[in-house]
Amino acid sequence: MNKNEIVVLFSGGTDSTLAAALVSQQFSRVHLVTYRRFGFFRVKNSTFNVHKLQEKYGQEKFSHAIIDVDAITRFVFYSRYFYYWRKFGFFLLSNCGLCKLAMHMQTILYCLDNQVAHVCDGANQGMNIFPAQMKRGVEMIKDLYAEFGVMYSNPVFDFDGYKETGFVERLRLDKMIPATDTGEEDSNSNTAGSRLYELGLMPSKDVKGSRMDHQMQGRCFQLILFNIFVKAYYLYDHSYDEYEQEMMRFYSEKVNDGMQYLKKQCLSKTT
């Protein structure tokens, strides 16, 4: 395994772009991997910040690939479907968490095929409704990578989160979700946007959530279903702690299913 190279799960947004910028100073080669599946739109928007990174840190430093993840996503979404429906019900609508798990699984296969020993992404503590960005979820994913000899890290996890306005406020559910910041940039903020601005990669500190942000990365409208499930349904009469606990129960089983799937894939390649 090549320990001088790293794969970045790269959406093209501020968090993954900052992660790529930070690790480019530690590794000789950075593989930017963007995933495409049914339900994603404008995935090629991710090239916007690929060019910026190449201009700043060198054309040879970064490669960029857009990889189809439909098959592995279908497995994650629908394997043992009725078992999960009976046990966890509407948690099957956690499509954002399941989609990210599929991306991690595909990344493991990419690392094994290309002999890359390190992976990172733009997971951020501010996105705390997503299972892959909860601290316990991150640890599960680290263990999944470690099972296949790959080291997974989160270089922007401890940066201040950005609180999007609009959906939550309209539903008046702010009080049910632990706030990570005010949603406003100030001179002392330590967000991905402010750091990218300092590095000269963004024109301002508050790009995230702006029109420019939407032009930098693809869109997925299934996110709306996930928001409805979490914010309008589950958190209506449950606490965030209850949500996190139940989500981690659900997610741990899905991660284990993913591990077994990958082991079978690896076995089939050696036989």
The correct CATH number of 2-270 out of 3.65.10.10, 3.40.50.620, 3.30.950.10, 3.50.50.60 is: 3.40.50.620
HSE-up of residue 264 (Cα within 13 Å, Cβ side): 8
Burial class for 66, CB neighbours closer than 10 Å (0-12, 13-18, 19+)? middle
- Predicted confidence at residue 1, as pLDDT, reads 87
Per-residue pLDDT tens over the stretch 95-136: 888 999 999 999 999 999 999 999 999 999 888 899 999 999
pLDDT band for position 36 (cuts 50, 70, 90): very high
Query: Does the reported pTM lie above 0.85?
Result: yes
- Whole-number Cα distances in Å, 220 to 35, 111, 191, 247: 12, 25, 23, 21
Q: Could you give the dihedral angle defined by the CA atoms of residues 26, 31, 37 and 39, in that order, rounded to the nearest 10 degrees? A: 50
Per-residue pLDDT tens over the stretch 208-249: 777 787 888 888 888 888 888 998 899 999 999 999 999 999
Per-residue pLDDT tens over the stretch 158-186: 988 665 544 444 444 444 455 444 444 44
Token representation of residue 203: 């024109």
Token representation of residue 87: 């046990």
